Structure 1
Amino acid sequence: MISYSLFNLLMPLSVIYSLILNSLVSLHLFSPPSPPSSQTCSAVSSGVAIVTGSNTGVGYATALALAGCGRTVVIACRSEEKGRKAVDDINEETGTKNAVWVERLDLNSFLSVRRFADAIKGKYDKISILVNNAGINTSGISADKLDQCFQVNYLSHFLLTDLLLPEILASGSGRVVNLSSVMHHFGSDFSSRSDWISAALPSAPNAYANSKLAAVVFTKELNRRYGEKGLRSIAVNPGAVNSDIWRSFNPTLRKYILGPLFDKVYLDTRQGATASFAAATGLSFSPSVVYLQPYWLPFNKLGVGGEGEVMYKGTHPAFEMLGVHVGYASVEPRVPEGGGEGLWEASKEAVGIR
Structure 2
Amino acid sequence: MGAIYSQYTQIFPPKSTWSVDNIPDLSGKVMIVTGGNSGIGKETALLGRNAKVYLAARDESKAEEAIRELKEETGREAVFLKLDLGDLRSVKRAAEEFLRREKRLDVLFNNAGVAVPPMELVTDQGYDLQFGTNVLGHFYLTKLLLPVLLSTAGSTHPGKTRVVNTSSVAHYHPFGPPLDFDTFKDSPKRRKTSKVKLYAQSKFGNVVFANELERRYGTRGIVSTSLHPGVIKTNISRNNSPLLRSLINMIYPHASHGALTQLWAGTSQEGLELGGKYLIPWARIGTPYGPTNDPALGRDLWVWMEEQVQDI
TM-score by length of 1: 0.74
CA offset at residue 238 of structure 1? 0.9
- Structure 2 unpaired stretches of 5+: 154-159
Matches within 5 A, 1:36-185: 36=18, 40-42=22-24, 44-66=26-48, 69-96=49-76, 99-137=77-115, 138=117, 139=119, 140-172=121-153, 173-185=160-172
What is residue 285 of structure 2 aligned with on the other side? 330
Equivalent residue in structure 1 for 2:218, among 212, 221, 227: 227
What is residue 157 of structure 2 aligned with on the other side? none
Q: Is the aligned partner of 1:279 residue 2:265? A: yes
Distance 1:226 1:180 in 2: 20
Residue identity in the other structure for 1:64 = L
- Structure 1 unpaired stretches of 5+: 1-6, 22-31, 295-326
Residue identity in the other structure for 1:275 = T
Find the residue that maps to 1:171 and give its secondary structure.
helix
Distance 1:75 1:187 in 2: 35
Distance 2:174 2:109 in 1: 22
Distance 1:353 1:341 in 2: 20
What is residue 352 of structure 1 aligned with on the other side? 310
Structure 1 residues 7-47: Cα deviation after superposition (integer angstroms, max 9, x where no partner) = 9xx9xx97xx95xx9xxxxxxxxxx4542267622274531
> Do the aligned residues in 2 keep the contact of 1:188 with 1:210 (CA within 8 Å)?
no
CA offset at residue 350 of structure 1? 2.1
Find the residue that maps to 1:81 and give its secondary structure.
helix
> Do the aligned residues in 1 keep the contact of 2:233 with 2:254 (CA within 8 Å)?
yes
CA offset at residue 259 of structure 1? 5.1
Structure 1 residues 40-62: Cα deviation after superposition (integer angstroms, max 9, x where no partner) = 22274531100011100111111
What is residue 343 of structure 1 aligned with on the other side? 301
CA offset at residue 156 of structure 1? 0.4
Find the residue that maps to 1:217 and give its secondary structure.
helix
> Do the aligned residues in 1 keep the contact of 2:229 with 2:261 (CA within 8 Å)?
yes
Work out the number of aligned pairs and report it. Answer: 288
Distance 1:258 1:198 in 2: 29
Residue identity in the other structure for 1:83 = A
Same amino acid, percent of matched pairs: 33
> Do the aligned residues in 1 keep the contact of 2:83 with 2:94 (CA within 8 Å)?
yes
Residue identity in the other structure for 1:88 = R
Distance 1:279 1:289 in 2: 11
- Which runs of 4 or more aligned residues in structure 1 lie more than 6 Å from their structure 2 counterparts after TM superposition? none
Find the residue that maps to 1:130 and give its secondary structure.
strand
> CA, structure 1 residues 43+291, in 2 after alignment: closer, same or farther (shift >3 Å)?
farther
Larger Rg belongs to: 1
Residue identity in the other structure for 1:331 = G
What is residue 248 of structure 2 aligned with on the other side? 262
CA offset at residue 247 of structure 1? 2.3
TM-score by length of 2: 0.84
